[in-house]
């Protein structure tokens, strides 16, 4: 079931393209029907959380160790964890960066996409801020984690991510 806070965050989003508009509509409809929307095991459809990590150096992307595509850090939400906390935890686990939310936390983008094992992910993408330090991912994660200028990120990122990155590039200077 959706929390009123998450429902308000979803309602406040202005989709950057038709894909996000469809994702947002499907996310709202699906999540209202799921008894435990954050559980990877409760249903084939579930919420994930990820982060657009920004600093004065640009935006972080990593090459997904299984899919081989360049995306933002993120993943599944643990039991009892909020999506906001999961975005921070996943970022630390995948990049080694200590990050923080804007105040208040900003849900910036939503994307519905296929996950592994026939699952569907409804990814909540938050803006997180980092000091402009080099990432230091642990050995069990992708070592390909880098800061990119926004134009570099547009060229490198998985194509479906580019419209969100372009919208982020417009807003990022006021947060870094």
Domain that holds residue 29: 4-174
pLDDT, one tens digit per residue, over 85-96 is: 999 999 999 999
> By mean pLDDT, which of 25-34, 51-60, 102-111, 165-174 is the weakest?
25-34
Beta strands per DSSP E along 78-168: 99-114, 120-130, 145-148
For residue 153, the domain's CATH number is: 3.90.79.10
Token couple for 54 = 């920004």
Residue 155's pLDDT is 98
Phi/psi-derived region of residue 126, left when phi > 0, alpha when psi is between -120 and 50, beta in every other case? beta
Quote the number of domains for the chain. 1
| pTM (2 d.p.) | 0.94
Unique residue bearing structure tokens 């095991």:
41
Query: Any bridge partners for residue 101, and if so which?
Result: 128
pLDDT, one tens digit per residue, over 125-171 is: 999 999 999 999 999 888 899 999 999 999 999 999 999 999 999 99
**Sign of the CA dihedral with 130 first, then 95, 135, and 97 last:** positive
* Cα end-to-end span (Å), the chain: 34
Answer yes or no: are the C-beta atoms of 153 and 78 closer than 8 Å: no
């Amino acid at each position: 079931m959706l929390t009123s806070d998450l429902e308000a965050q979803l309602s406040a989003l202005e989709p950057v393209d038709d894909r996000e508009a469809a994702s947002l509509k499907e996310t709202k409809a699906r999540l209202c029907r799921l008894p435990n929307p954050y559980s990877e095991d409760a249903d084939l459809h579930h919420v994930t959380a990820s982060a657009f990590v920004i600093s004065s150096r640009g935006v972080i992307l990593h090459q997904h160790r299984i899919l081989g595509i360049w995306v933002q850090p993120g993943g599944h939400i643990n039991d009892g964890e909020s999506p906001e906390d999961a975005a921070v935890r996943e970022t630390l686990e995948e990049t080694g960066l200590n990050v923080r939310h804007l105040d208040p936390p900003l849900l910036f983008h939503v994307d519905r996409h296929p996950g592994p094992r026939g699952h569907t992910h409804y990814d909540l993408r938050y803006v997180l801020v980092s000091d402009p330090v080099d990432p230091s991912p642990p050995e069990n994660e992708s070592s390909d984690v880098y800061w990119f200028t926004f134009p570099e990120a547009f060229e490198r990122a998985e194509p479906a991510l580019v419209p969100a990155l372009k919208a982020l590039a417009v807003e990022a200077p006021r947060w870094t």
